[in-house]
Amino acid sequence: MTWLERLVLDLRAARARAYVRVVGTFREPQGVLLDAVFPNLGMCAFVLLYRSLGAPKSFEALAVVGGVMTTFWLNVLWGMGAQFFWEKQNGQLQLYFAAPCSRMAILGGMAVGGLAATVLRSLVGVALGVAVFHVRLAAFSPWWLAAVFVATMAALYALGMMLASLFLLYGREAWHTCNALTEPVFLLSGLYFPLRTLGAVGAVAAGLVPLALGVDALRQVLMGRAAHGLFPMRLEFAGLCALAGVLLVLARASLDHLERLSKREGRLTQRWQ
Amino acid sequence: MPAPEPIHAPAVETRGLRRVFGASRGAGEVVALDGVDLRIERGEVFGLLGPNGAGKTTCIKILNTLLFPTAGEARVAGFDVVREAGEIRRRIGLVSGGESSGYGVLTVRECLWMFSQFYGVPGAVSGPRIDELIAVVGLREQANTRINRLSTGQRQRMNFARGFVSDPEIMFLDEPTLGMDVNAARRLREFVLEWVRARPGRTVLLTTHYMAEADQMCDRIAIIDRGRVLACDTPAALRRSVQGGQHVEVEVRGEPGDDDLLAEVAGVRVAWGAPHPERGTLTLKFRLPDERVLGDVLRTLEDRGLAVQGLSTRETSLEDAFIRIVGRGLDDEEGS
């Protein structure tokens, strides 16, 4: 098989897997409602809290950006990290491992499809912020916004691709692992307050959790100085690009490790084992 | 540089294949395969028959590159299952009966298309092929129905079609008709045979719990138990390998006296009785190496005052051969 044939195969596999995500979004309207509206309720609560305390208007914008990014984190955690676990439970994972396409292509398809579906859901948060709460943003560069958003998503979904294998290796119910990770990451990412507030912990979190760095950088693009950024935005952008690369390599390595372990021990990817 | 195509290699070849599962949760080591030697030629429909836990599925998983062997060698289409898994995956298909595949939000057609893409099948090829497979498995009316609205049987049939969507060189069917209704199973068996006939060189490795299925479909059968191949031959040769000819059942009325009432008839190898209290009769089952001995048996029964109420004969079946070789039936627990 030439590299070109392999590339075409992997692109076809990624497109097919992304298709499931996108189609699934539109065929389950009640799911859209739950995924789009409920994560934004936390954001609404913080906006109302800041408003009732008479905090500066910039804090409301800060909470809206954090709330919008919440939808992506939930998708990464439940739709990427836990996905191989669900696939194993319904017997599908071994079909992926028996197929000739790359498992990274399947994970990539999941990521692209999940991202596309979640963008639609996150627009609900944007609409709530702009139309209901009338948050105001500084004049911003759309190019920087696009660049930082893409880098954040690349790092975030690469983390999800890595988690997909790690969840299976960890061997616990994905359900519990997702629950255990949700709130700590919310806190460490400073979703509803400036990351700088966490001090040294915030700096460490920025280096480990792409969501933290991404949210902080996006706030700086959209709000300027009012974002109370942790590091200069360009430095954070570079950090996000580096994280995306490192996490992709780690995702590949953990996937290979999972496959080797599965073949050696006869479990992990196979149902009931 | 692309790997060479070993076109003259057998479809499957294993030498001394061994797989041991490690001890876990207090259980000891389990030897699933213990030195399996197999050679399956291109174009064969080959059956792997064995009781539960014999090692059939482990063997299939190794050949599908889902498990490493602990020792020995396995090659599929001439490629090594450990070192050349990628080359093998392009050439094989796998259907496990009782499994379902796909996502509930997809329709049957979309699901089959998705799997065709994992094998890189171009759209112009996959479309007509999917239509054909949907017709074969009898899901034409459900082609645009979401999978989560299908019955269990319909999902199984879709799963069967899924395995063929890449038109593989070597197809692994692991209990493919498990739980299917009789008509659907028969249609799928016919499809497999036609699929092999219409595509010279295509190979099927089948594991099944249904003796008749193996007998009808397979060119050769390997009987496997406790991880070892006990016999490997054509179904006819396996039947012939069991000593004894016709199986006879005679229903008699009267008191047989002692259990060994046919011992004096030369050549009758097995004889035992099953009483029918509601009719006041007894069924004697035995095997005759030569049908001419049947007259002696009937005379002996008459001499003992037993009135023959009915008589039936049948040839040695694959199941008889299996029981003789393995020592128990397919569904019997070990030691029972």
Shortest alpha-carbon distance between residue A26 and chain B (Å): 10
Instruction: DSSP letter for B43, please.
Output: T
Question: Residue A249 falls within a domain, yes or no?
Answer: yes
- Assess: ipTM above 0.90: no
What CATH code is carried by the domain that includes residue B107?
3.40.50.300
Instruction: DSSP letter for B255, please.
Output: -
**Cβ contact (<8 Å) for A20 and B114?**
yes
Q: Per-residue confidence at A271, pLDDT binned at 50, 70, 90?
A: low
B200 and B248 belong to one structural domain? no
Shortest alpha-carbon distance between residue B141 and chain A (Å): 20
Question: Residue A272 falls within a domain, yes or no?
Answer: no
What's residue B335's pLDDT? 43
**Cβ contact (<8 Å) for B114 and A12?**
no
B50-71 burial, b at 16+ Cβ within 10 Å, e below that, comes to bbeebbbbbbbbbbbbbbbbbe
Cα distance between residue B197 and residue A38, in whole Å? 57
Question: Residue B174 falls within a domain, yes or no?
Answer: yes
Question: Residue A270 falls within a domain, yes or no?
Answer: no
Nearby residues of B168 by Cβ (< 8 Å), 6 or more positions away: B91, B92, B93, B202
Cβ atoms B41, B10 nearer than 8 A: yes
Other CB atoms within 10 Å distance of the CB of residue A245: 13
Task: Indicate the number of domains in chain B.
Answer: 2
Please indicate whether residue B29 or residue A254 has the higher confidence score (pLDDT): A254
Other CB atoms within 10 Å distance of the CB of residue B317: 16
Cα distance between residue B97 and residue B178, in whole Å? 5
Other CB atoms within 10 Å distance of the CB of residue B82: 14
Q: B17: phi > 0 → left, psi -120 to 50 → alpha, else beta; which?
A: beta
Instruction: DSSP letter for B105, please.
Output: T
Cα distance between residue B104 and residue A85, in whole Å? 16
Query: Is 80 exceeded by the pLDDT of residue B336?
Result: no
**Cβ contact (<8 Å) for A1 and B119?**
no
Q: B214: phi > 0 → left, psi -120 to 50 → alpha, else beta; which?
A: alpha
Cα distance between residue B228 and residue B32, in whole Å? 9
Q: Does any CB of chain B come closer than 8 Å to the CB of residue A92?
A: yes
Q: Does any CB of chain B come closer than 8 Å to the CB of residue A19?
A: yes
Question: Residue B330 falls within a domain, yes or no?
Answer: no
Question: Residue B324 falls within a domain, yes or no?
Answer: no
Q: Per-residue confidence at A201, pLDDT binned at 50, 70, 90?
A: confident
Q: Per-residue confidence at B27, pLDDT binned at 50, 70, 90?
A: low
Question: Residue B325 falls within a domain, yes or no?
Answer: no
Domain that holds residue A54: 3-265
Ranking B203-207, B209-213, B316-320 by mean pLDDT, the lowest is B316-320
For the packed helices A57-74 and A103-127, what is the interaxial angle rounded to 10 degrees? Answer: 150
**Cβ contact (<8 Å) for A101 and B21?**
no
Residue-wise pLDDT for B125-161, tens only, equals: 999 999 999 999 999 999 999 999 999 889 989 999 9
B123 and B197 belong to one structural domain? yes
Task: Indicate the number of domains in chain A.
Answer: 1
Q: Does any CB of chain B come closer than 8 Å to the CB of residue A5?
A: yes
Instruction: DSSP letter for A90, please.
Output: T
B209 and B252 belong to one structural domain? no
Question: Residue B142 falls within a domain, yes or no?
Answer: yes
A20: closest chain B residue by CA: B106
Question: Residue A66 falls within a domain, yes or no?
Answer: yes
**Cβ contact (<8 Å) for A99 and B61?**
no
B108 and B209 belong to one structural domain? yes
Domain that holds residue B254: 243-315
Shortest alpha-carbon distance between residue B91 and chain A (Å): 9
Cα distance between residue B219 and residue B196, in whole Å? 11
Q: What does the block give as tokens for B101? A: 């595949």
Q: Does any CB of chain B come closer than 8 Å to the CB of residue A15?
A: yes
Shortest alpha-carbon distance between residue A183 and chain B (Å): 29
B117 and B249 belong to one structural domain? no
Domain boundary among B240, B268, B286: B240
What's the residue count for chain B? 336
Please indicate whether residue A172 or residue B31 has the higher confidence score (pLDDT): B31
Cα distance between residue A9 and residue A17, in whole Å? 12
Predicted TM-score (pTM) of the model is 0.84
B111: closest chain A residue by CA: A20
**Cβ contact (<8 Å) for B94 and A19?**
no
Q: Does any CB of chain B come closer than 8 Å to the CB of residue A8?
A: yes
Shortest alpha-carbon distance between residue A79 and chain B (Å): 14
B153 and B62 belong to one structural domain? yes
How does the average pLDDT of chain B come out, rounded?
A: 86
What's residue A273's pLDDT? 45
Question: Residue B5 falls within a domain, yes or no?
Answer: no
What's residue B189's pLDDT? 92
Other CB atoms within 10 Å distance of the CB of residue A211: 26
Cα distance between residue B241 and residue B238, in whole Å? 5
Residue-wise pLDDT for A162-182, tens only, equals: 988 888 887 667 677 787 888
Q: In what order do the strands lie in the sheet with B92-96?
A: B92-96, B170-174, B203-207, B45-49, B220-225, B228-233
A15: closest chain B residue by CA: B117
